Amino acid sequence: MEKQKKQDIRLLSKDALKDYFVEKGDKAFRAKQVYEWIWKKSATDFDQMTNLSLSTRELLKENFVINAVEIDDSQFSKDGTIKNAFRLHDNRICEGVLIPVETRMTACISSQVGCSLACEFCATGKLKRMRNIEASEIYDQVRIIRDQALEHNGQPLSNIVYMGMGEPLLNYKNVLESIEKITSEEGLGMSPKRITVSTAGVAKMIEKLADDNVKFNLALSLHAANDEKRNKIMGINETNNLESLAKSLKYFYEKTQTRVTYEYIIFDKFNDELQDAHELYEFCKHIPCKVNIIEYNPIDGAEFKQASVAKVDAFKDYLEERGVVINIRRSRGKDIDAACGQLANKK
């Protein structure tokens, strides 16, 4: 209980840290030192802050904690993917995945414990949303997966995708703050162009991203370019239909000039016909975009199946012939339930 009485020092801004040290009769530059230890050097313990005097470290220990995220469990796929169950300071669990491929090391991270959107094809959607994940806890997921990439693959982390548990745009403040800490020169110094935030489609928050002039990439989980079909699999479409999404995406592109990615899982006998490809093509006309066709990963209690190879190829060919940029994303980590849509705190 003692731990919870003390404030997590990572909730303080640099200015608030300055005020704290001045109030204690110390030098204002201590704030810069501590801030650097926390965000640039990823310290998880005050004793790691070796350029601070012992008395300063003791003072910090008396007043603050660092609620660092810890690995509760890691599972290793035969394809090199690592799925982590992360234990947060209140014992909640979220998941994050290291996805290693030849050309890049990608961290797939979570923004909420559980999810409130309940998309029919997603295991996370079967969980209720417990809480938003704090900016420092999102940062910690990146820190841990970065270290795993170096330890297991000898390569630095190259990409971050906010595609794990939760809807990032429903945890807007913490997600943007975490990206600031990850990309800042005072933090991990990663390029925002290496970060993609994936949303199920919250139109007004997509417009807010545009107003905030974000520099990272945006992906929309589309999966059907037809309101009737999208309503069946994604309840959020009833309040954020394709027309409102198209309007918000145009606004986003006009403000940021950033090409948007549409994610499209092709389900057998649901959205795998050429008519579906045509509807997607029409939606792609709104703004410069690319499409990721994603292999469906079966989950417990869902009736969907992966579309046949022939259907996927015909779908892809239809769009490519009309100039749409298409990638087919093969799933990784399926054997440990680490693939897209499978994160549900299962061991």
Span 164-203, pLDDT tens digits: 999 999 999 999 999 999 999 999 999 999 999 999 999 9
Is residue 345 assigned to a domain?
no
Residues 98 and 24 in one domain: no
What beta strand segments (E) does 27-171 contain? 64-65, 70-76, 82-87, 93-101, 104-108, 112-113, 131-132, 159-162
Q: How many percent of the chain have pLDDT more than 70?
A: 92
Question: What is the mean predicted confidence (pLDDT) over 10-20?
Answer: 96
Domain boundary among 19, 37, 65: 65
Which pair of tokens denotes residue 25?
């009769």
- pLDDT, one tens digit per residue, over 200-218 is 999 999 999 999 999 999 9
Contact 175, 145 (CB under 8 A): no
Query: Looking at 95, 134, 167, 263, which residue is catalytic?
Result: 95
3-state helix, strand, coil in the chain (%, to 5): 40, 20, 40
Rounded CA gap, 22 and 135, in Å?
26
116 has pLDDT over 90: no
pLDDT of residue 125: 61
User: Which pLDDT band holds residue 297 (cuts at 50, 70, 90)?
Assistant: confident
Residues 215 and 259 in one domain: yes
Domain residue limits at 307: 70-336
26 has pLDDT over 70: yes
Residues 255 and 171 in one domain: yes
User: Which pLDDT band holds residue 120 (cuts at 50, 70, 90)?
Assistant: confident
Residues 52 and 151 in one domain: no
pLDDT of residue 302: 65
pLDDT of residue 132: 96
Residues 85 and 37 in one domain: no
Rounded CA gap, 98 and 76, in Å?
10
Is residue 319 assigned to a domain?
yes
Is residue 299 assigned to a domain?
yes
Q: Catalytic: 340?
A: yes
Is residue 239 assigned to a domain?
yes
Is residue 153 assigned to a domain?
yes
* Range in 58-62, 69-73, 101-105 with the lowest mean pLDDT: 101-105
* Averaged confidence pLDDT in the chain: 91
Residues 16 and 108 in one domain: no
76 has pLDDT over 50: yes
Residues 30 and 104 in one domain: no
Domain boundary among 65, 93, 110: 65
Domain boundary among 21, 49, 65: 65
pLDDT of residue 215: 97
Rounded CA gap, 143 and 159, in Å?
12
User: What's the CATH number where 23 sits?
Assistant: 1.10.150.530
Residues 149 and 12 in one domain: no
CA-based nearest residue to 337, from 75, 27, 51, 50? 75
Residues 35 and 142 in one domain: no
Residues 209 and 160 in one domain: yes
Is residue 12 assigned to a domain?
yes
Residues 15 and 139 in one domain: no
pTM assigned to the model: 0.92
How many structural domains compose the chain?
Answer: 2
Residues 282 and 240 in one domain: yes
pLDDT of residue 237: 92
User: What's the CATH number where 218 sits?
Assistant: 3.20.20.70
pLDDT of residue 314: 96
Beta-bridge partner residues of 99: 106
pLDDT of residue 338: 55
Query: Looking at 108, 115, 284, 340, which residue is catalytic?
Result: 340
Is residue 152 assigned to a domain?
yes
- If you count them, how many residues does the chain have? 347
Q: Catalytic: 273?
A: no
